[in-house]
Amino acid sequence: MRRNRLITYTTNGHVASLDFTHQVTDIDDAYELVMELGDITAEIGATDMIRIVVVNAGGKTMSFSTAGMGALAEALGQMTGDCPDPAKLLAGLPQPVLVGLEGDILGMGLELALACDVRVAVDGARFGMTHLSEGQMPSWGGTQRLSRLVGGGNALELTLGATIIDAPEALRIGLVNKVVPRDRLSSTLDEMAHNMAAKGPIAMRYAKEAISAGLDLSLGQGLRLEADLYFLLHTSRDRTEGIQAFQNKGKPKFEGR
C-alpha cells in the first residue's frame, strides 16, 4: 500500500474518508495523486465493511494548477500504459461517495467532484469548468458528467465561457445538492454518511448501480436491470432483517449479507 502523501485515507466504522490534503502543483504530484487514489479506491472497492465514502478537499481548494496539466493525461498514458483518470476511479466505487466542497472547485477539481454521488458545498465555494481559459479542455470526464448533471444548456455555458459561479447558483442548477455554512460542512457530511451507513449496504450499492448504469440504458432495459437487482436482494438476509424490523417497529441491524 502506497504511503499516503497527497491523500489521507481513514476509516471510522462503515465510513471511509479521503482527504485531498495537498495542492497538486506539478506533473509529479498529479502522477502521485492518481497512483495513490488507484491504490485507495481498489482497497475500498474490495472492502465490504466500508459502506459510504466521504471525500474532502481537506480545507484546501480543490483546484489544480494547470502548469503542465495539458500534457498530463498523455504523459500518464505513456508512463504506465493504462492509467485511468482519477475521476473514473471515484466514479467506479460501488459505495456511494459524498464530497464536501469549499473554496474554489475549478477545472480538474470540479471534474473530480462530478464523479462523486452527492455534493455538499460551503456557501463561499465557487465552481467552474475553467479549462478553456488555460487553453485546455476537460479530460477527466467533465464534458460528459457536467451535462448529464445540469443539462446541456448550463454545461455549455459553464464550459465554453469558463464561467465561475457561486454556491447558490450551483445549487439552483443542480450542480450541488446542498449548501451549508462553513462550520457545518463536517457535521453535515458526517450525519449524512452515518445515516446512509445504517441502511442496507447491499441495497445501497444496488440502488447506486441501478441509477448509474440505468441512465445509459433505454427505460425498458433500465427497468429490467432494476428488477434483476431487486430479485437478487430477495436472497439477502438484510432484506428479511429490514422488513421484520419495520414490522416490529424496531431499528434494523444490517450485516451486508
Name the site residues for another protein (rule: CB under 8 A). 96, 117-119, 148-151, 174-177, 192, 195-196, 198-200, 202-204, 206-208, 210-212, 214-215, 218-220, 222-223, 225-236, 238-244, 246-247, 252, 254
CB of 69 to another protein, least distance (A): 26
Of 83 and 225, nearer to another protein (C-beta) is 225
Nearest approach, Cβ of residue 73 and another protein (Å) = 25
User: CB-based contacts of 122: which residues, under 8 Å, 6+ apart?
Assistant: 100, 101, 102, 103, 167, 179, 180, 181, 182, 185
Contacts of 247 (CB under 8 A, 6+ apart): none
Nine cell digits for residue 79: 508512463
| Radius of gyration of the chain measured on its C-alpha atoms | 19
Residue 26 or 190 having the CB closest to another protein? 190
Q: Which is nearer to another protein, 13 or 151 (by Cβ)?
A: 151
Q: Report in angstroms how near the CB of residue 120 gets to another protein at its nearest.
A: 10
Q: Which is nearer to another protein, 162 or 198 (CB)?
A: 198
Q: How far is the CB of 117 from another protein (least distance, A)?
A: 5
Closer residue to another protein (CB): 77 or 92: 92
Q: Cell 465493511 sits at which residue? A: 49
Least Å distance between CB 221 and another protein? Answer: 9
Supply the minimum distance, in Å, between the C-beta of residue 74 and another protein.
30
The beta-strand segments (E) located in the chain are 7-12, 15-20, 52-56, 97-101, 104-106, 118-122, 126-128, 164-166, 178-180
**Residue 67 or 246 having the CB closest to another protein:** 246
Buried b (16+ CB within 10 A) or exposed e, 54-65: bbbbbeebbbbe
C-alpha cell at 6: 497527497
User: Smallest distance from the beta carbon of 132 to another protein, in angstroms?
Assistant: 24
Torsion of CA 224, 225, 227, 232, to 10 degrees: 140
Which one, of 168, 165, 175, 239, lies nearest residue 202 by Cα? 239
| β-pair type (97-101, 15-20) | unpaired
Nearer to another protein, 31 or 230 (CB): 230
